[in-house]
Structure 1
């Protein structure tokens, strides 16, 4: 009987943390993408960012479905997103396209990361109203990561503009309906 009670308690505990486990998976793949970039394994970095996006897509759905939304989960999700869709794509593109621009390449990369952090902080303190304000960092990071496939045909300066435009869209105040 005690074994069954403990097993039931463990299952309930695991269920209550399912969304957070997915979020930590998102963060882990974002970290792995960074390490892959630092080791020159750029294709793996892209793959890991896309896996992070997949996990990010489902952590909120799972939290709502299991009625497990929490302030901790919201904060953890934002920390994961800044790694997976802010830092990881920015460093990937910096290494592949912006490094030769020197300080200017660094500045555009830092502006992108900072804009993403600002966007996430603004999201965390706002009331949920069915709309996003500014471009979500997940969308910006996914577009930046997808641009990896244009490296052989697009000029490096394109990536400076892409980072700048993405940054401006993230911190802008236009609204976008949540899907």
Structure 2
């Protein structure tokens, strides 16, 4: 082996030395796995189910996909309850939750419109983009700011991705079951509510709002099963 070749190989080895690629000081890095709490693992469960929902949408199985999405919704609510119960709420956990919400609500909402409602690809492109863009910006803001407080009552800054997701779901059933309703009208409604996610509207976080969201999910799950089994 020539001297020039040895020198070249030595230079490559020095550039890819694994020891030089590892952050040495613990204060300079975040040990992500070590910081995960029980609530965060529940959130990851929601991510798993939400991804399953996305795959079902892509297989053109919107009703089963909706049921999976509602499973992710349940796990998403459970992680918050567990965090409060165990006292492990933290800014890091809020960021994890916001990341999971993208795949539990935002992506499934865009896919539901694309697969089952959109009259053509152009409408799907525009409406899907609005869901993803405003939903992502809303989650980034919440991750940064957290909840607002108004005389002891907590509120979200702007409507939530859950609200937008439920609007898409409602339009799916309207377009499927109500003859005058169609993908164009559904697209206009969904497009109109997307900017509300980054508005200054105060969406108060109350037990009543959570109960109503849960009730809406149960009704939608029943309708999805009725459609899938041919009762509607």
Partner of 1:86: 106
- Structure 1 contact 49–89 (Cα < 8 Å) conserved: no
Provide the aligned length of Structure 1 versus Structure 2: 163
Partner of residue 185, structure 2: 158
TM score, norm. by length of structure 2: 0.66
Q: How does 1:106-125 map to 2 (within 5 A)?
A: 106-125=125-144
Match of 2:202 in 1: 175
- Asked if 1 retains the 8 angstrom alpha-carbon contact of 2:110 and 2:127, the reply is no
Matched residues in 1 for 2:143 and 2:55: separation?
27
Matched residue of 1:151: which SS? helix
Counterpart CA distance in 2 for 1:72 and 1:159 is 36
Is 1:144 matched with 2:168?
A: yes
Which structure has the larger Rg? Answer: 2
Aligned equivalent of 1:18, options 38, 42, 47? 38
TM-score (norm 1): 0.84
Counterpart CA distance in 2 for 1:155 and 1:19 is: 40
Query: For residues 122-147 of structure 1, what are the alpha-carbon distances to aligned partners after superposition, in whole Å with 9 as ceiling and x for unaligned?
Result: 11111432111110112211332243
Write the distance in 2 (CA, Å) between the matches of 1:122 and 1:20.
20
- 2:230 corresponding residue in structure 1: none
Greater RCO (CA < 8 Å, at least 6 residues apart)? 1
Q: CA offsets, 1:58-79, max 9 Å, x none? A: 2111101101112332111111
Which segment is superposed worse, 143-152 or 26-35? Answer: 143-152
The answer for unaligned runs of 5 or more in structure 2 is 1-35, 207-232
Change in 2 beyond 3 A, CA 1:63/1:108: same
Distance across 1 between alignment mates of 2:49 and 2:146: 29
Mind listing any 5+ residue stretches in structure 1 that lack a counterpart?
1-15
Stretches (4+) displaced over 3 A? none
**Greater helix content:** 1
Q: CA RMSD in A?
A: 1.6
Contact 2:157 2:203 (8 Å CA) reproduced: yes
Match of 2:72 in 1: 52
